[in-house]
Amino acid sequence: MLAAVLAAGLEGALAAGDHQRAIGFINRGFAEGSPQLGCDLLCRAISVVGTARTWTVQLAPLRSR
């Protein structure tokens, strides 16, 4: 469910050319999903925008609740 929501949000952001919002979805994929989900979202963004764009993704360690 999370993957579908983030993927849809990412697609919308990319279609609008809103790269800051796209990065937010990618970061959430890593933070709230899994490393694989974050990578999948990042790869999708690169395939749409191209490799000429520099993507900055913020990673932080997991915190125990």
pLDDT by position in tens, the chain (length 65): 999 999 999 999 999 999 889 999 999 999 899 999 999 999 999 999 887 667 666 666 666 55
- Helical (H) or strand (E) element with 43: helix 35-49
Distances (CA, A) of 22 to 2, 5, 12: 15, 13, 8
Q: How far apart are CA 14 and CA 35, in angstroms?
A: 21
**What range defines the domain where residue 16 resides?**
2-49
| pLDDT for res 16 | 97
Domain total for the chain? 1
E strands within the chain? none
Q: What is the pLDDT of residue 45?
A: 92
Task: Show the CA angle centred on residue 8, arms to residues 7 and 14, nearest 5°.
Answer: 85
Per-residue confidence (pLDDT) for residue 49, from 0 to 100: 86
How confident is the model at residue 53, as a pLDDT? 64
